[in-house]
Chains A and B, each alone.
Chain A
Amino acid sequence: MKSAHVRWLALIAATGLSLAACASGTADDDTADSGNSGDESEDAGSAFAADAELSGDLSIMGFSLGDEIAEVRYDEAVAALGEVDVSLAEGELDIQQFLSSAATGQPPDIIYANRDQIGTFASRGALLPLNECIAGEEIDMSMYREPAVEQVTFEDSVYGIPEFNQVQITMANAGLLDDAGLAIEDVNGSDWDAMEAATEAMMEKDGGKLSVIGFDSKMPEFLPLWAKANGADLLSEDGRTAQLDDPKVLEALEWAVGIYDLQGGFGDVKAYRDSADFFGEGNQFATDVLGAMPMEQWYVNVLNDVSPDVDMAFDTVHGLDGATLAFASGSAWAIPAGSSNPEAACRFAKTMTTVDTWMAAAQTRADARAESDKPFTGLLTGNAVADEEIYNAFVEPSGSEVWDAAIEATYEANDHTFSLPANPADAQFKTAWQDAVNRVLNGQQEPQAALEQAQQEAQSALDDAWATWDEE
C-alpha cells in the first residue's frame, strides 16, 4: 500500500520537476545562445537594408502613446514597416518583465529604455550591437547629439538610437527676485556665494516654519550638475573609474546641501516641496513659495499650461566658469539579443527618430498648441538636425518675453549638454552616489565620509562588472 503511494507521488513529482526543468533549461540555452553576440541577424539569415521588404511580427516594450508626439511618430514608423504586424505593450519599461522575457529566450523585438540603462544591458549581452543595423538602414549617426550617443555607446559599439533629450534650465519667480532686489543671474549657478545670498534673501519663515523656499538645489538628483558646474565629473570618460572622492565633487555637495541648511535643513525644504501642488495651478511658482530652482525643460510646458500668467524668469544653468551646461538624460530604442525581427526593429527605431518623423510630430503639436492659443515651446530630441529644423519651422515669438526666454534657454541648454558614459554597473554606481547624498541630507554622515564610502562602493561595483566584461 505504502509503496503504491510512493510510486504515485514519485510519478507526479517527476512530471512536475521535468516540466520545470524543461522550461528552465530552454531558457538558459536560448539566453546563452543569444547573448554576447552581435551576429544573430546573420545567423538567422537576415540582412539590414534600407530598401528591404519587411515582414513578420514586431513586439515593442516600454513605449506609450501618451500624446500626439508619440502617436504621430508611431504611426509613421508602423507605416514604414509595410507588412509587419506590430504589437505594442504600452507602459514604461518594466525591468523585471524585460529580464524575465530575455531569460526565457523570448524578449520583445525592440525596447524603449532610459539611455543610462543601455550600458548595463549591453555588457550582459542582453542587447544587439547596432553597427549592422546602422550601416544597413543607412542611419546617419552624426545627426544625433554626441552626449546622447555616448550614453548608448558601450566599448565602441552603439547599442541604442537616442530619442528624447532632457536638460535642465534655471527657473525663477520674477516677483520674488524683484522683491529681493535680485536678478536671474544671481540664481543661475554662475556664482555660488551670490546664490547663497539670494537664497537667504528670498527665503521666508512664518512662525518658525518655512513659508518661502529661497532656492532649491534639487538634491540628490542634481549632484552631477553641480559637480560639473564646479569642473568635476562623477565618472571617468571610459566609464571605469568612479571620481566621487574628487575634492570638487565634495565642494559641490557641501555647497548644494548648505543651501538647504540655510533654510532650516533638507527635511523642512523637502516636506514643504512635497506638500506643493507640483503639476497644478497651486504650484510653487504660482503661489510664490519658491524663489528659484534648476528643473528639466518639460516643466516649462506644465507651468505654461496651468499658470500661464505667472511672473517667471528663465535662464540656462551656468558653471562657475560662466559657461552654460546641462546634464542630459533621455530615452533610446534598443534591440534585445534574441529579437525575432531585428530588421523591423531597426527600421522602426530609425523611423521614430528621423528628421521627417520629428517634423511631422512637431507640426501636429504646433497645430494643437495654436488651436488652444498657447505657444509651441519646441521639442528636445536626441537628433540635433531635427531640433534645429523644428526650431526654425515652428518656434515663433509667443508674444510673451517670459515664455520666449524659457524656450531660448531650453534650446541653448540642449546645445551644451554632458552625460555620464555608459558602463556595466550604472544602477550600482547611481545608487552609491545617491545614497551618499541622501545620508548627508538626512544628517547621517558628513559629506566627505559619505563620498568616500560611495567611492568605495561604486568602484567595487564597477571593478566587478568590468572584470566580468573583460573576461568574456
Chain B
Amino acid sequence: MAQSATTTPEAPRDSVALRAKRLSRRRNTRAALLFISPWIIGFLVFTAWPIVYSAYLSLTDYDVLNDPSFIGLENYQEMVEDPKIRLALWNTFYFTVLQVPLYVMVSLGLALLLDKAGRAAGFFRTAFFLPKMTPPVAVGILLLLLFNGQDGLINTVLGWVGVDGPAWTTDPTWVKPGLILISLWSVGSSVIILLAALQNVPQELYDSARVDGAGWWQQTFKITIPMISGALFFIFIVNTIAAFQTFTEAYTAYFGAGNSTYSNDAALFYVIYLFQQGFEFLNMGYASAMAWLLFVIIMIFTAIQMLASRRFVYYEGEQR
C-alpha cells in the first residue's frame, strides 16, 4: 500500500507518455504501410497469388483454355515416369555444375585484371559490360554463328593452332560445352560487382602483407578473396539460380527461331521442357508441377549454399 502510495503520482505521467509513444509508433507504422502498400499489393497479386495458384494447378489437368480439373498427384507421378524429365534434369545439372564455377572464375579473373588497369579501367569496364546489353535471343543466334562447325570463329581460331574443332552445334557431346562457353558472353555485370568489391579492400592490408613478404598469390588468396567473399557468394548464388533456369539462348539456338524443326536433346534444359509442356502442348497442370519441382530443387541448393557460406564467407564487422 505504502509503495503504491509513493508511486501513484508518477503513474499517470508514465501512462500518458507511453500512450503518446504508442500513438506515434502506430502513426509511423500506418504511414509506412501506406507507402509500401502498392508494392505489397503488387507482390500479392503478381507473385504470391500466382505461386499459390500454380501449386493448385499442379494438382490439376489444365489446358489453359478450359477449367482445371483436380487430379491429385497424378502430374507428379507422371513426372517420375517421364524420361524427358530425367534428361532435362541431367542436362540442367551438367550445365549448372560446369557453368557456375567457370562463370565466377572468369568474372573474378577479369575483375582482378580491371583492378590493375589504372586509367584505362573506365574504358575496359564499359567494354566488358557492353555484351551484357545484348539480348539473350541475339546471343542464341550468335552461338550458332560463332560455333558453326564449318566456318565459325571458334573453330577457325582452333584451326590456327592445329586443332580440328568439333561440331559444336550438332554433336550432342559438344552442345552443352558450347552453351556454357557462350554464357560467358554476359559476365560483364558480375565483373562490375566484383570490381566494386575489390576496390573496397583496404590498401593497408596489402601494404602490411607486402612488408611481411607476401607475394601476389598469397595476397590474392589470403586477403583479396576473403575480403570479397561476400560479393563472390552473391554472384555464385545468383548464377546458380539462373543456371537452373537457363532458357533463352538454348531455346533460340536449338528449339526456337534459330531452328524451326532441328532440335538437339542435349540442349533440352528443364525450363525449356517446362515451356514446351505449358505453352506448346497446353499441359499447364503438368508444367506447374514441373515448376514446383524446380522450385524445391533450387531451394535445396540455395539452402546448402547458405549453410556453406557461414564457413567461407566473411562480412565486414561480423563477429565470429
Q: List A residues at the B interface (Cβ < 8 Å).
A: 1, 4-5, 8-9, 12-13, 15-17, 19-21, 24, 28, 31-32, 35-36, 95-96, 99, 102-103, 120-121, 124-126, 209-210, 220-221, 266-268, 270-272, 274-275, 425, 427-428, 431, 434-435, 438-439, 441-444, 461
- Bound complex: CA A8 to CA B36 (Å): 12
- Bound complex: CA A13 to CA B45 (Å): 9
Asked whether B149 lies within 8 Å of A268 as measured between CB atoms, the reply is yes
Residues in B with CB closer than 8 Å to A220 are: 261-262
Residues in A with CB closer than 8 Å to B67 are: 28, 31-32
Asked whether B65 lies within 8 Å of A103 as measured between CB atoms, the reply is yes
Residues in A with CB closer than 8 Å to B124 are: none
Query: A273 to nearest B CB, angstroms?
Result: 9
Known: A20-B49, A99-B64, A99-B279. A270 touches B262 (CB 8 A): yes
The total of chain B residues at the interface (CB under 8 A) is 43
Query: B287 to nearest A CB, angstroms?
Result: 12
Interface residues of B in 119-155 (CB under 8 A from A): 144, 148-152
B264 CB within 8 Å of chain A: yes
Query: B159 to nearest A CB, angstroms?
Result: 10
Segment at the A interface, from B26-34, B177-185, B218-226, B304-312? B26-34
14 A–B pairs (Cβ distance < 8 Å), ordered by A: A4-B29, A20-B53, A35-B66, A103-B64, A120-B282, A124-B65, A210-B150, A431-B281, A434-B263, A438-B265, A439-B265, A442-B172, A443-B171, A444-B265
Residues in A with CB closer than 8 Å to B152 are: 271, 275
Residues in B with CB closer than 8 Å to A266 are: 170
Interface residues of B in 31-52 (CB under 8 A from A): 33, 37, 40-41, 43-45, 48-49
Residues in B with CB closer than 8 Å to A272 are: 150
Chain A residue with Cβ nearest B44: A16
Query: A266 to nearest B CB, angstroms?
Result: 6
Residues in B with CB closer than 8 Å to A24 are: 53
Asked whether A431 lies within 8 Å of B148 as measured between CB atoms, the reply is no
Contacts A1-B26, A427-B282, A438-B264 known; 6 new A-B pairs at CB < 8 A: A12-B41, A120-B282, A434-B261, A441-B170, A442-B171, A443-B172
Asked whether A36 lies within 8 Å of B150 as measured between CB atoms, the reply is no
Chain A residue with Cβ nearest B174: A267
- Bound complex: CA A58 to CA B198 (Å): 59
- Bound complex: CA A15 to CA B38 (Å): 11
Count CB-based A-B contacts (< 8 Å): 128
Chain A residue with Cβ nearest B42: A16
Residues in A with CB closer than 8 Å to B265 are: 435, 438-439, 442, 444
- Bound complex: CA A125 to CA B63 (Å): 11
- Bound complex: CA A8 to CA B33 (Å): 8
Residues in B with CB closer than 8 Å to A267 are: 149, 167, 170-171
Annotate B253-280 by CB proximity to A: 1 below 8 A, 0 otherwise: 0000000111111100000000010011
Residues in A with CB closer than 8 Å to B151 are: 271, 275
Residues in A with CB closer than 8 Å to B40 are: 12-13, 16
Known: A103-B65, A268-B167. A5 touches B29 (CB 8 A): yes
Query: B210 to nearest A CB, angstroms?
Result: 52
Residues in A with CB closer than 8 Å to B150 are: 209-210, 268, 271-272, 274-275
Residues in A with CB closer than 8 Å to B276 are: 431
Asked whether B65 lies within 8 Å of A102 as measured between CB atoms, the reply is yes
Asked whether A427 lies within 8 Å of B169 as measured between CB atoms, the reply is no
B86 CB within 8 Å of chain A: no
- Bound complex: CA A441 to CA B172 (Å): 10
- Bound complex: CA A221 to CA B260 (Å): 8
Residues in B with CB closer than 8 Å to A210 are: 150
- Bound complex: CA A266 to CA B264 (Å): 13
Residues in A with CB closer than 8 Å to B48 are: 16
- Bound complex: CA A442 to CA B262 (Å): 10
Query: A154 to nearest B CB, angstroms?
Result: 14
- Bound complex: CA A425 to CA B63 (Å): 12
Asked whether B170 lies within 8 Å of A17 as measured between CB atoms, the reply is no
Asked whether A431 lies within 8 Å of B65 as measured between CB atoms, the reply is no
Residues in A with CB closer than 8 Å to B64 are: 99, 102-103
Residues in B with CB closer than 8 Å to A16 are: 40-41, 43-45, 48-49
Which one of A96, A103, A427 contacts B281 once the chains associate, using CB atoms below 8 Å? Answer: A427
Residues in B with CB closer than 8 Å to A438 are: 262-265
Asked whether B41 lies within 8 Å of A19 as measured between CB atoms, the reply is yes
Asked whether B63 lies within 8 Å of A271 as measured between CB atoms, the reply is no
Residue of A5, A19, A274 with most partner-chain B CB within 10 A = A274
Chain A residue with Cβ nearest B172: A442
Which one of A31, A120, A221, A442 contacts B170 once the chains associate, using CB atoms below 8 Å? Answer: A442
- Bound complex: CA A271 to CA B154 (Å): 13
Which one of B26, B33, B65, B167 contacts A12 once the chains associate, using CB atoms below 8 Å? Answer: B33
- Bound complex: CA A332 to CA B97 (Å): 46
Residues in A with CB closer than 8 Å to B45 are: 16, 19-20
- Bound complex: CA A431 to CA B179 (Å): 22
